[in-house]
Amino acid sequence: MNLNVKQSVNAVKGIGEETAEALAEMNIFTIEDLLEHFPFRYEDYRLKDLAEVKHDERVTVEGKVHSEPSLVYYGRKRSRLTIRLLVGRYLIQVTFFNQPYLKSKIKMNETITVTGKWDQHRQTITASEAKLGSVVQTKDFEPVYAVRGSVTVKGIRRFINLAFSQYGDKVVETLPKQLLARYKLIDRNRALRTMHFPQSEEDLKQARRRFVYEEFLYFQLKMQALRKFERENSKGVAQNYDLPKLKDFINSLPFPLTNAQKRVVNETLADMKSPFRMNRLLQGDVGSGKTVVAAICLYASVTAGFQGALMVPTEILAEQHAESLKQLLEPFNISCELLTSSVKGKRRKEILERLQAGDIHVLIGTHALIQDEVEFNKLGLVITDEQHRFGVDQRRVLREKGENPDVLFMTATPIPRTLAITVFGEMDVSIIDEMPAGRKTIETYWAKQDMLDRVLGFMEKELTKGRQAYVICPLIEESDKLDVQNAIDVHAALSTFFQGRYQVGLMHGRLSSNEKDQVMKAFSQNEVQVLVSTTVVEVGVNVPNATMMVIYDAERFGLAQLHQLRGRVGRGSDQSYCILLADPKSEVGKERMKVMTETNDGFVLSEKDLELRGPGDFFGKKQSGLPEFKVADMVHDYRALETARNDAALLINSSEFWELPEYEALRNHLEKSGAFSHEKLD
């Protein structure tokens, strides 16, 4: 056992009770915690040529003082000292904050060495340190730590040094030899030391690489263990579907399945046939053909003697799905019914009775499906579409209906693989990453807001051809805080503009669901030609005659969301267009608009979005399911994350992992992570 470094920090000579308490405030309890308290950056003391230093990078330079220091006080204790410094052929400015005592030390024409942050645009270094004379540095890098309370950076450097000198050789390797060898990772002891006291950048890179893999492997072992035990403990139903019938059904479709659809159908059917309960996420871009996959699985379930349910977030979607499923399934003697809150009275009663008797095979509906009064006869498969719109609780209620039905969550939000295997790590993930052949791509343009006249002219042309258009605004009504287009004003303006020629409708989240349905019906029946809306149209709506979308203030939306919105057009056989009205100020904003015009691939966009915005923003602040890593970065180290996931899955499912001594450290770690506690996940 690795007891030595599991002791409290005050076992280190030189760390007393008081220090231990202060460290505890920083969540450092054991010697190991202290050794794993990594620097968040390093002071780089290597002398550099300023020409090679990037903006905002930290740098150490040596130069000749070229002006008398000038000191300005503002506030009681705050001051700014500036000098001009000749560094090589650069004459730069150096600023020191709150170090007034330097004024008397820094002399004209003398050499000093300063360390700080380089502002390339202002040709200024904001210095944290100055040393007089030409300094021979004893080390190239010095660690800088996050500290709290009475603990100082210098203090913690000392504590870590003490811990290393007394306990450094007690650090035990946690990764098995074959993995270290396979990925050429350095051992734990050396990696730990290097994180704190790197000799070179390359050294540091190797140490980081080791810890990135280690962190991901720990995390993925937990997820894979959860997944395995969830699966094995979940008494599901083995659905022995009728393969010949299923093949007939697939052959009767008006089109061949894409390879991606075939793969996903196989993955899902394998789960359904197994005695374990399926817990699978199906991702597929808008239009990739998820509905057909759903139909095949529902049909399979019915041939195995079970009932199926499809749950969607809105009534309009429920109606659309019911219609397409009926078309596909009724010729095969499958009875499909729609159940929403607007199905009432005698009709509702009749549906509920037939459902209970098992006469209805497939039920399609909104959350009305999970009310208590809805009882199935033998529910085998539940599919939810656009699962991110459902709450966790609703999903659980649905899963508890019937005897552990298999569950398939479908979503059109292309979640980058990195995030999917993190957030949904304990679920199985299937991806439809291929579009049916012959799909026309939506032509996307980026226009400045002052080009609105031309955009409207273009829209008019489409309308003249008998087509329809969406106009999307970020807000419902005027806001004093934001200078952003709102749906109500735009609706008023466009109504005037198109008066006597075209009808303009208005849709937003504050309408009742009845009102929304009416607006949507009017649009889908072409009684309204232009629909001004907030993002409520984002999900699933299908009006193939709509060939144009204009999105106001497009820079305010995430790429994934813009792509979802854009997916409302391009659903018919005609060429469709999407125009992004945006005046982004930042480079990132411009980059995002450009990317939208360049690709129609939802996964490419979502990866890009993740890269540009980071994982926190990608899901919005509310999403807290993201784990925190000390060294690893989900975005930049995603390859390591995938590798670790595969390795973890292999390990968890191998007998060696559970038996051989070389995996003991990993097993202990897994046990500590809570993977075996019986708290319910959902």
- The contact set with ligand ADP (CB under 6 A) reads 255, 257-258, 261, 284, 286-292, 412, 436
Q: Is residue 469 within 8 Å of 457, Cβ to Cβ?
A: no
Stated length of the chain: 682
Select 289 or 558, whichever has its Cβ closest to ligand ADP: 289
Give least dist CB 384 to ligand ADP, A: 13
Minimum distance between the CB of residue 421 and ligand ADP, rounded to whole angstroms? Answer: 21
User: Is residue 490 within a helix (H) or strand (E), and if so which, with residue range?
Assistant: helix 487-497
Residue 589: CB minimum distance to ligand ADP, A = 28
Classify burial at 454, counting beta carbons within 10 Å of its beta carbon; exposed 0-12, middle 13-18, buried 19 or more: exposed
In the complex, what is the shortest distance from the CB of residue 455 to ligand ADP, in angstroms, rounded to a whole number?
27
Which residue number, 376 or 523, has a Cβ lying nearer to ligand ADP?
A: 523
Q: What's the rounded Cα separation, in Å, for the pair 61 and 49?
A: 8
Nearer to ligand ADP, 556 or 568 (CB): 568
Phi, psi of 615 (to 5 degrees): -65, -35
| Smallest distance, ligand ADP to C-beta of residue 593, A | 24
Residue 5 DSSP label? G
The pair of structure tokens assigned to 238 is: 């083995």
Give residue number: closest CB to ligand ADP. 289
Q: Which is nearer to ligand ADP, 567 or 584 (CB)?
A: 567
User: Which is it for strands 124-132 and 70-73: parallel, antiparallel or unpaired?
Assistant: unpaired
Q: How many H helices and E strands in the chain?
A: 22, 21
Task: Tell me how crowded residue 443 is: count the other CB atoms within 10 A of its CB.
Answer: 13
Nearer to ligand ADP, 413 or 444 (CB): 413
Residues 6 or more apart whose Cβ sits within 8 Å of residue 538 = 561, 564, 565, 568
Is there a contact between 223 and 425 (Cβ–Cβ < 8 Å)?
yes
Q: Which is closer to ligand ADP, CB of 291 or CB of 422?
A: 291
Kindly state the smallest distance separating residue 287's Cβ from ligand ADP, in Å.
5
Nearer to ligand ADP, 73 or 255 (CB): 255
Nearest to ligand ADP of 334, 581 (CB atom): 334
Give me the helix-helix angle, 153-167 and 188-196, nearest 10°. Answer: 160
Instruction: Give the integer Cα–Cα distance in Å for 239 and 275.
Output: 8
As given in the structure block, the two tokens for residue 680 are 């319910």
- Host H or E run for residue 133: none
Q: 360 by DSSP, 3-state: which? A: coil
Count Cα neighbours of 644 within 13 Å in the Cβ-side half-sphere: 27
Min dist. Cβ of residue 507 to ligand ADP (A):
20
**Shortest distance in whole angstroms from residue 387 CB to ligand ADP:** 13
Write out the two tokens for 528: 């309204």
Smallest separation (angstroms) from ligand ADP to the CB of 562? 16
In SS3 terms, 622-680 reads as CCCCCCCCCCCCCCCCHHHHHHHHHHHHHHHCCHHHHHCHHHHHHHHHHHHCCCCCCCC
Closest approach of ligand ADP to the CB of residue 295, in Å: 9
Strands 307-311 and 428-432: unpaired
For ligand ADP, the closer CB: 216 or 249: 249
Question: Is the distance from CB of 529 to CB of 509 less than 8 angstroms?
Answer: no
Closest distance to ligand ADP from the beta carbon of 456 (Å):
29
